Amino acid sequence: MRWVLAAAFVVLFSSAAAAQSFQFEFSEQTLNELVGDLGHPSAGDVYLPTGLITNLGYWNCRPIGTLECTYGTTHTSGTSAPVTAGNKVVAMSLCQGPDGQPAVLPTPEPVPWQWWITEAHFTVGSQQLSFSANVRYRIGSKWYNVAQTVPATLTFDYAQQRLRMAISSFRVPIRYSEGGIVELLGEVDVGRFMSFTIPTSRQKISVPDLNGNGRTITTRVDSVNVQYVPGKVVVKVDAGFN
């Protein structure tokens, strides 16, 4: 997209070096192809439920492995019925104890969690631009989906000389609940992940002067007006020359 936009500047300015205004368009399809190039941002981690352990004075726990315990017997004792032998795997963690010393404790199973941003797309309507996406996440074996549509704006950053696509606040908290205790595992900031910028580098153009000699002028963007019409974004630019 960067090269397409730069090419547009070259063509428009070189075809009419004396002109100081022009416009170009982004179709809705082009915007969605661009946001598609961002892919599907994703992140995750492993959460260790330590509510009870924390209440006992242990902290800074991290999983270190598992311990396999064998229980039961196939032999009879007196008149009792035989008990089938079995195994139980217990998660173990290394924690800091109340006295500050390290301690190895049995802890609940770690809970893996992960999120993905999917189905991201723009919709251009009359005088409005909107962004929609779905945040799909799992905590352990449970899956969740949060779909939302929020306003978006395309503006021009004069200091950086670039177009900036900004998406309104779109945050999805990832919470884990167990035994009445709710923990915030993370937050998906969709607006931050899916916003982007498009550079508009200054162009140098060689043109003849009144004496027929060549000279070089440099373009700059003085003002930008963005309009939303159904199916496309129209960008009107007033440019100057140095």
Question: What is the residue extent of each domain of the chain?
Answer: 2-45+112-241, 49-108
User: E strand or H helix at 152, and its extent?
Assistant: strand 142-157
The pLDDT value recorded for residue 228 is 97
Quote the distance between the C-alpha of residue 233 and its chain's center.
24
The pLDDT value recorded for residue 1 is 39
User: How many angstroms separate the Cα of 112 from the Cα of each of 45, 54, 89, 172?
Assistant: 6, 20, 17, 18
pLDDT along the chain (242 residues), means of 10: 39 45 88 91 87 77 79 57 66 85 83 96 97 97 96 91 92 88 91 89 67 73 91 88 67
**Residue 47 in tokens:** 């959460």
The pLDDT value recorded for residue 72 is 61
User: How many angstroms separate the Cα of 20 from the Cα of each of 39, 96, 198, 237?
Assistant: 37, 68, 21, 8
**Residue 107 in tokens:** 């802890």
What's the one-letter identity of residue 1? M
Predicted TM-score of the model (pTM)? 0.69
The pLDDT value recorded for residue 185 is 92
The pLDDT value recorded for residue 96 is 87
